[in-house]
Each structure stands twice: as structure tokens, then as C-alpha cells.
Structure 1
Amino acid sequence: MTGITLHGAPVPGGETILTDAALAFIAHLHRMFDPTRQSLLRARDDRKRWWQAGNSLDFAPETSSVRDGHWQISGTPADLLDRRVEITGPCDRKMVINALNSGAKCFMACMEDATSPTWHNIIDGQINLRDAVHRTINLEDKGKSYKLNDIIATLIFRPRGWHLPETHIRVDGEEVSGAIVDFALYFFHNARRLVENGSGPYFYLPKMEHYLEARLWNNIFVTAQSILGLPLGTIKSTVLIETLPGAFMADEILYELRDHIVALNCGRWDYIFSYIKCLGHDANSVLPDRSAVTMASPFMAHYAAHVVRTCHRRNAHAMGGMSAFIPVKDDEAKNSAAFAAVKADKEREATLGHDGTWVAHPGLVGVAMEVFDRLMPGASQREKIPAGTVSAAELLAAPEGPKTRAGLAMNINVAIGYIAAWLRGQGAVPLHNMMEDAATAEISRTQLWQWRTQGVTLDSGETVTAALINAEIQAQLAVWKDAVGDNFFATGRYAEAATILSDLVLAKTLPDFLTTPCYRQFMAA
């Protein structure tokens, strides 16, 4: 096909996804919209330099009429009216079946933070989702059969963010955006069938920082619907407010997508990561140990109330985030503590006014469902608008808390463990009885960078330096070696992960994402 080349190894069944028509659809969207995407990524760098020069984040004066205006989104489909519990996870075949059967109202199938974007994972994930939409998905694994129940969760798909490339597909010699590839393949193969099923092509949109990035998605939606002959507004999206700049533009993002949006979501882990990334240069914005930054921290509580208030003023759903706790096998005390922590987190969200929440494990669906059934008897609580307004100072104020040697060690341990798993092709990883994905690992590595560049003094009296970090990296490599044995040397990729982490943490300028150098590591392998 003219101008389109594939560079990935064949994936079983991939020929049914990478058809000539689907590739032509990708190429059309790339040629039409990638120049805008590239300019928006450059604008991110410009804004970062502006903040580093001492200018503060604030609400944009040029869009005050949008924030102050009396407008609402166009409407919400019936199968997205009750979203009280959503389960999230990657797109492998067993996960897709189990998540759709989990009893949750929705399943967010993730090709972003929960997926390591190997070529196999991306194409196999599209096959699995296509089979789920057409209800032909099944699996035989270790003597057990998996198939869909009669009643399943509503499927919502999360493509990659604007920053990630897909180097295995090139158009006119250029790498294609991972976001465009993911969206285009899912939409092309599933949109009509989803509508026939009484649902629709629904998307979670990650990591946006500006309303112009939302406008780009809206323009892609309009074009894609036109090409397939679907009515305007067939696509519905939920945007994750998971960047600090995005929180300042929540109204504007809703407005740009008002024909194609139904909700915003508090993506808490990426939000903390973004806070450090945007303010890591500021000595007054140093965060304490990752474990000490909770939704009860004032700046996080203000952020959550701001998202709920913004959504409900516009008749949109306000979705809560994900507690990272997961069930703990063979330890009843730890398991009970994990369930109690999840319950308390969901009670906070429901009481604030959220219309639903996330869980990362099927075993937690019932815990979250009980809370929202009890505290939210209706399908949503969009009539509930938290009082007051939020100021820039409230969104930017760093919380107090400890900065400990144990916190530094845990950051390094988690980052090495997660990066190693990512390099092995696994994007969602249980570590220390918590579900880690790219967002939580990003907190760990950016906090290490911030503590080093700000010369933070730990509770032990030690100053965080490059030497201290490198010494702890070696110590944590030894911990991992003891934990995984021979796999450390064979397929573990822990040493590679430690090198990547060291390079990221000791860089003069904070790299935007850890997944970017990790992805290039795939290509070099």
C-alpha cells in the first residue's frame, strides 16, 4: 500500500486486524492530524520552560467565558448512565474475559499505563477486543475454559497518550502516533458492531494537558465518524484529568469535546506524577514520601472536589480513581487491611459526589459496589455539586509529610521492579501487595529526581545525592536478585531496568516519561 510500511513481526491473527482498509484509515488520520499533534507536543515543552522560568500555573484568562458560561455536554448513552464500579486492566485475553464478567458496570481496557506496548501486545490486544465485541472470545488455559457471560460490563477502550509512538507502522517514512494506531484499529473494526449491540465506541483519553489537545481528539472523532458513515456524537469519551495543567483546563476540555464526552475521571496516580513533573524545579513544591500523599492531602482533596464540581455543573459524570490495593493471598490480616483501605477510599469518593470508581482486581468489585449501592442509590449523583470554588494556590500547595530513607528505598525497588516487568512485556504488575502501572512507577522515579535536584534531607539526616541513589540502586538490585533467583540473570531484565532508572533519575533535566526510553529499548533489543 502506497506510503505505508509495517516493521513488526507477524502476530497470529494479526492479518485480520492489519487489513489494507484499516491501514489506509490509519494513514489518513496520520497525514491529516499528526502535524497538529507534533505542534501540541512542542507546546508542552514551551509551557514547561515557562514554568521553570518562575511563572506559575493558573487558570487561562482567554477561556474565562467557557468556565463562566452556562452550557452542558450533549448527552450520555443509556449504558453509560450507571458507572458506579469500573474495572481496569490490560487487553490480554484472560483479563478481557474476566473483567467483562466481573460484575463491574464498565471495563476500561487499557493499552496505555497498564500495557507494555510490544508489537505483540498491541495487535493481540486488538484481536481480543474485537472478539469480545463480536462475542466470539473464549480461552482454554490450564484445563479451565473462559467465555463471556450473558450480561457483561460496558467496554471502554483507552488508547495510548499523544506522546507515545508506534514505530512498527510508518506512513511516508514517519512513525505513527500510538494513540492514532490504537484508536483507529479499535474504531475501524468495532464501531458499527458496538452500535448494533446497543452500545457504542467509547474511549478513555489519557494525559491531556491543554484544551487544544482535546480539540485534536474531537476533530479526529468527527473525521472518523464521517469516514465510517456514523452520526456525529456516536463516539463518547471520558477524559482522565491526570495532569496538573489538565486540572486547570477541566471546563475547557469538556467544552471542546461536548458532543463526544460524558465524563471526567480523577486519575490520581498520574496526577501526582504530573505535579512533580511540572513543579520539580520548585523547592517549595517538594512532595513527601509517596505513601504519605493520599487523597486526604489538601491539594488532592481540592483537585477531586474541583473535578466533581466541574463535571456536575455540565451534567457530566465525575469518575473516581483507583486505590492501588489488591487482595493478598495467604495473609488474612493484610488482606483485611487491603479491603478496609479500598472501602474507605470508595466511601470518600461516593460521599464527595463521584458517580463511580475504579478497581484493579475482580475481587474488589464487590467492595466498591457495596459502597456505591449504599451511598449512591440512584444511577449517578450529578445533581450533587460540591460547594465553593478552587483556587490555583489550593491546587498547587504541596502537603507536609515525611521524607524517609525507607521511602527512597521503596521508590527504587518499585521502579526497578516495574521497569523490568515492562521490558518483559508486562504493563500492570503486583508489587508489595499493590497494583503498579506506569503511573505509579512514574511517581517513584520523578520523586527520586526531585529529591536529588532539591538536595532533600531525609529523616535519617542523609542528603539525597547521586551517590546515595546509586548506592541504593545496587542495594535494591541485590534485593531483587534474592527474590527472583535465576530469573534475575535469565529473563528478568533487572540490570537493564536499574540502568534506565539511574539514567532517568540522574538526568540534568527531568525526562517527561519513563516509557519513552523503555520503548526505545524494545527497538534496540
Structure 2
Amino acid sequence: MRNVVDITVTGPPVERADEILTSDALAFLGELHERFTDRRDDLLRRRAKRREEAARAGRLDFLPETREIREDPSWRVAPAPPDLQDRRVEITGPTERKMTINALNSGANVWLADLEDANTPHWANVVGGQVNLYDAIRRRISFTSPEGKSYTLREDGRLATIVVRPRGWHLDERHLTVGGRPLPGALVDFGLHFFHNAKELLERGSGPYYYLPKMESHLEARLWNDVFTYAQQRLGIPVGTIRATVLIETIPAAFEMEEILYELREHASGLNAGRWDYLFSIIKYFRDAGPSFILPDRNAVTMTAPCMRAYTELLVKTCHRRGAFAMGGMAAFIPNRRDPEVTERALAKVRADKEREASDGFDGSWVAHPDLVPICKEVFDTKLGDQPNQLDRLRDDVHVTADQLLDIAATPGSVTEAGLRNNVAVALRYLAAWLGGNGAVAIFNLMEDAATAEIARSQIWQWMNNGVKLDTGETVTADLVRRIEDEELARIRSEVGDEAFVRGDYDRARELFERVALAPDFADFLTLPAYAMID
């Protein structure tokens, strides 16, 4: 393989990095960078321009220039390979070694191996995650805890199919540079995994499968499709081998579902409804567009809200019309064996949520904990019977308009002091863990990732900048938020003790929180300033 560009590798030593960052693998990354990074940069500039136009107009709409694609009934995505035809339960989590083993053993049909929102991009996590995927695909991964507990892959029964989620287009990998310019994290995560594992996966009867996050347009999907085509041709893999599921987790992408599937149709597998990031995107896009775009407390916004029903029903209809899978949202609850009453109530909500998804026509759904796999599986088993999916449910009864997708004002609920406090508490706890290298964090019996922190801090920013009044009559101000910060940090210190509090880096978490929640300018993604604070 010719060395197109000279990549500079920085960062602290990582065990077995030499097995991942080989000269041929780096040359492959260099080729991807040379061919596609300029296009990536242009698309990011387009995002900013479109956001400004939408905020000024107070709306988005379906694209007139792509009407023919939406109205053409003849095209469909490529048929799914055998190990992606049944996706009724998908478990998500970072590529930490023990979690990798537990996810593969969980009984779920698919493991979403998360290199994005559930993963802090410390260099050790970026490289170590690739090591763990490499070992898992070859079925030679094991782990022994400090307490001496051993974890290995089960020998009886089927392991979950691996689907890798690389970072979004907006994130760079500063430890890999060309002439001082960092490579896009998306190309690094995809490129290393594909280079080392595509042929091995095919030999084992599977394939290179991906979840694509944070896209905002069909042009970004076109870029991914071109990356896939080039990568397959370059490594001698048949074009069309890759399968990609796109997370529809931004409000502009909701208006381009058909076009996104069309651009990826040779490689597309489905679409996923990503709740928290979708709500975050609504706030980010229309944060300065007036009171009709102000959401109530995030925990009060359920999937039955009119705008969320429109979004999910359109997703199912779009997918099944084109032969693609419609994947439901996350059940983030973590069972608490010490509090059976809380667990019972939460599991009832999880069951009801999955029953709604199965009834609406989704082909499967996400869970964040192995103990939730049986519930999700039972619900979809009941609905699907002997069928692997619901692709035959075309949902011709669904007709969604732009106004319905944007009917944020009809969302029931209010803005409360308890909701504000919860946003502050969760954001501080999550950011402290993220800065310490952990992107999947158990907080208040929920498994949280960056999406939760994003909506928490963006709600605070929007409420504060729109002078929203709480149920107490008090207006949301920076001073009020800082007072709540003081109280919540004192609560954390009393829970963990002084030594753990200092070690947990809560002072820097507060600094980061105030940068993304209270500063006059709105940070597009909290992970951008957060990334500058690690390593």
C-alpha cells in the first residue's frame, strides 16, 4: 500500500498500539484523509449556514430539489445480510474490554460497539477500543478484573452481531495529524476498524457494519457512501459489503430520511430514532427562534409528544417503504437490586415503551443493560412471532407534514425547578466522568452518555436566554444556575467524600459546564471544548 501522506502520531503510549497503528493502516487513513477531509469541512460549513437560515425563518421543510427521490416508488436499499435480518434487541455500550464481553454474551441480537457518545476520546480509549474489537471479532477476547473475576465469551449460543458507531463528522482526532491538521475522528474510527477487520468478518460469515451518528443532510450521507465505496475498492472488498444504519438524531435529518437512504442505498441497512440527541438538535437549531420552540423538562418529553410521534412514525414508514429496518430508541434504565420497588416501576415503563415501538412497526429497539434484554426480546417476540422483522408493515396510514415535525409547542409539560436541578446535577456528574475517561455513566439509575448531557445543558442555555419562569415563579438566570451548582456539588461531595471529590475533577467539570450552559455563545457540541480539556 503506497504511503500517500505522512501522518504524525502523538499521544501517550497505549498497550498493543503497534498492532493497530501499523504503517499500512496509517497509509490507509492518510488516503481517506486526502480524499475526503476537505469535503467534510465544506459540509460542516453548510451546517452552520443552514442553521442560521432555519433559525431566522423559524422552520425547516422537505427539500424541493429532491422531490423526485421521495416520490419515486421504485428504489429500495440493498437486502440485509443474514446476521442483520433480525435486530429485535440491540444493546449499546462502549468498547471497554469487560463491557465488550458482556455485550456479546448478553443475548441481544446486535451489539452497538460505541466509539462515539458512550466513549471519551482519550487516546487510550481510541486505540484500546480498536484492540478490543480486533480481539472480539477473532473470538479471543478475555478479561480478569482486579478482584480476580474472569470474563470470557460464551461457547454456547449465538454472540451478538457487532455494529460499530464511529464518531460524528464534527469531531477530529488530534493525535493523528497531517501537516498539523487533525484527521476526522469518523475516518479514524471507521478506517482502523475496516482496515483490520473487514476481511476477517467476511470469513466468519458476518461483515463490516456501522451506525452513523449526527448526520444533518443527505450530502453527508453521500460522503459516507463515497468513503465506503473507496474503502472497499481499495482493500479488495466487494462493493456493497458494508452495511450502515443511520441515526436520525438531528432535526434537519428528519426532513431528509428518504434522501439519506437513497444516497446510501447500496450500503444502507436502516434508520434509528435517537431521542435525546434529536431533542438536543431541536433546541440547538431553534434556540433563538422564540418561545414556541421551548421544550419542558426533558424527563417530561415522552415519545408520545405530538412532534415525537410524527418523527417516529415517519421514520418507520420511510424505512419500510424502502426495505430498510426501523430501529427504536434507548431504554437507559439500570435495574437496582437494592430497591425492587423502583426497579419494578421502571421496568413497567420500559415494557410499555417497547410495546409502543413494536406496535408502531419498529423492527427492534435498544437497551443499555443486559438485564433489559429479556424484556425487549419478549415484547418483540410477541409481536414478530416467527418473523425476523416487520418490513412488510408499510404504514400507508401515516402522513406527516413539516408542521407536525415542528409542533414543539404542543409538547405537554412545564419547566420546573426540579427539572432545572436535575439537568444541572446530571450534567455535572456526567462531565466529571467524561473528563476522567468514562463516557457511559450510571446516574440516578440510568445509563447516560453524551446525548443526555447535551440536552441538559442546552435546555439550561435556552431557558436562561429566553427568560423562562419556573413553576416556582423564579426566572432562570445564570445566578440561579450557579446557586444550584453549589448545592449539587456539595451533595456530591457529601456522597463520595473529600478525597474522591477532588480526584473526580468536579472543579473542571463545573468549568466545562458553565462554558457550554452559561456562556453567551452556544457551543455546537459540548464534546468540542471538552476534548480540549483532556490528555
1:459 alignment partner in structure 2: 471
Residue 347 (structure 2) pairs with residue 339 (structure 1): yes
What is the TM-score when the length of structure 1 is the normalising length? 0.98
Contact 2:332 2:447 in 1 (8 A): yes
Contact 1:328 1:338 in 2 (8 A): no
1:140 alignment partner in structure 2: 144
Q: 2:401 aligns with which of 384, 391, 414?
A: 391
SS at match of 2:227: helix
Deviation at 1:507, TM superposition (A): 2.1
Residue 86 (structure 2) pairs with residue 82 (structure 1): yes
Contact 1:480 1:488 in 2 (8 A): no
Structure 1 unaligned regions, length at least 5: none
Residue 238 (structure 2) pairs with residue 242 (structure 1): no
Q: Matches of 1:510 and 1:156 in 2, distance apart?
A: 32
SS at match of 1:301: helix
Q: 2:224 aligns with which of 217, 221, 229?
A: 217
SS at match of 1:490: helix
Q: Matches of 1:42 and 1:84 in 2, distance apart?
A: 37
The one-letter code of the counterpart of 2:120 is S
Matches within 5 A, 1:155-304: 155-282=162-289, 283-304=291-312
Matches within 5 A, 1:103-118: 103-118=107-122
Deviation at 1:470, TM superposition (A): 1.6
Contact 1:3 1:173 in 2 (8 A): no
1:6 alignment partner in structure 2: 9
Deviation at 1:351, TM superposition (A): 0.3
SS at match of 1:284: helix
Give the length in aligned residue pairs.
523
Deviation at 1:173, TM superposition (A): 2.1
Q: Matches of 2:348 and 2:59 in 1, distance apart?
A: 38
The CA deviation string for residues 285-319 of structure 1, in whole angstroms up to 9 with x for no partner, is 10000111010111111111010000000011100
Residue 132 (structure 2) pairs with residue 128 (structure 1): yes
Q: Matches of 2:53 and 2:173 in 1, distance apart?
A: 29
Q: Matches of 1:494 and 1:329 in 2, distance apart?
A: 28
The CA deviation string for residues 418-458 of structure 1, in whole angstroms up to 9 with x for no partner, is 00000000001010011110001111000000100110011
Deviation at 1:388, TM superposition (A): 2.4
Residue 390 (structure 2) pairs with residue 381 (structure 1): yes
Deviation at 1:511, TM superposition (A): 1.1
SS at match of 2:170: coil
Contact 1:299 1:397 in 2 (8 A): yes
Residue 323 (structure 2) pairs with residue 320 (structure 1): no
SS at match of 2:534: helix
Q: Matches of 1:495 and 1:475 in 2, distance apart?
A: 14
2:483 alignment partner in structure 1: 471
Q: 2:317 aligns with which of 309, 316, 319?
A: 309
2:497 alignment partner in structure 1: 485
Contact 2:232 2:238 in 1 (8 A): yes
The one-letter code of the counterpart of 1:137 is I
Deviation at 1:328, TM superposition (A): 1.2
Matches within 5 A, 1:29-108: 29-70=32-73, 71-108=75-112
Contact 1:265 1:318 in 2 (8 A): yes
Contact 2:432 2:509 in 1 (8 A): yes
Contact 1:421 1:427 in 2 (8 A): yes
The CA deviation string for residues 311-352 of structure 1, in whole angstroms up to 9 with x for no partner, is 000011100010221211300101111211111110000000
Q: Matches of 2:152 and 2:398 in 1, distance apart?
A: 48
SS at match of 1:357: strand
What is the TM-score when the length of structure 2 is the normalising length? 0.96
SS at match of 1:502: helix
Moved more, 351-360 or 462-471: 462-471
Deviation at 1:135, TM superposition (A): 1.0
SS at match of 1:107: strand
SS at match of 1:445: helix
SS at match of 1:232: coil
SS at match of 1:188: helix
Deviation at 1:498, TM superposition (A): 1.0
Q: Matches of 1:66 and 1:418 in 2, distance apart?
A: 41
The one-letter code of the counterpart of 2:144 is E
2:28 alignment partner in structure 1: 25
Contact 2:332 2:369 in 1 (8 A): no
Contact 2:210 2:243 in 1 (8 A): yes
Shift in alpha-carbon separation, 1:489–1:149, aligned structure 2, 3 A:
closer
Q: 1:510 aligns with which of 519, 522, 525?
A: 522
Q: Matches of 1:52 and 1:153 in 2, distance apart?
A: 42
What percent identity do the matched residue pairs reach?
52
SS at match of 2:532: helix
Contact 2:246 2:272 in 1 (8 A): yes
Contact 1:156 1:204 in 2 (8 A): yes
Deviation at 1:389, TM superposition (A): 1.3
Moved more, 164-173 or 12-21: 164-173
Contact 1:424 1:491 in 2 (8 A): no
* Alignment RMSD (CA, Å): 1.1
Q: Matches of 1:400 and 1:267 in 2, distance apart?
A: 20
Q: Matches of 2:519 and 2:60 in 1, distance apart?
A: 24
The one-letter code of the counterpart of 1:317 is F
The CA deviation string for residues 131-174 of structure 1, in whole angstroms up to 9 with x for no partner, is 01111111122222211123201110000000111000012321
The one-letter code of the counterpart of 1:493 is D
Structure 2 unaligned regions, length at least 5: none
Q: Matches of 2:47 and 2:341 in 1, distance apart?
A: 45
Contact 2:58 2:286 in 1 (8 A): no
1:438 alignment partner in structure 2: 450
SS at match of 1:315: coil
SS at match of 1:299: helix
Q: Matches of 2:496 and 2:227 in 1, distance apart?
A: 45
The one-letter code of the counterpart of 1:353 is G
Contact 2:215 2:221 in 1 (8 A): yes
The CA deviation string for residues 359-414 of structure 1, in whole angstroms up to 9 with x for no partner, is 00001100100000011211001111221211111111111311100100000000
Deviation at 1:483, TM superposition (A): 1.6
Moved more, 330-339 or 484-493: 484-493
Q: Matches of 1:106 and 1:228 in 2, distance apart?
A: 26
1:414 alignment partner in structure 2: 426
Q: Matches of 2:229 and 2:62 in 1, distance apart?
A: 28
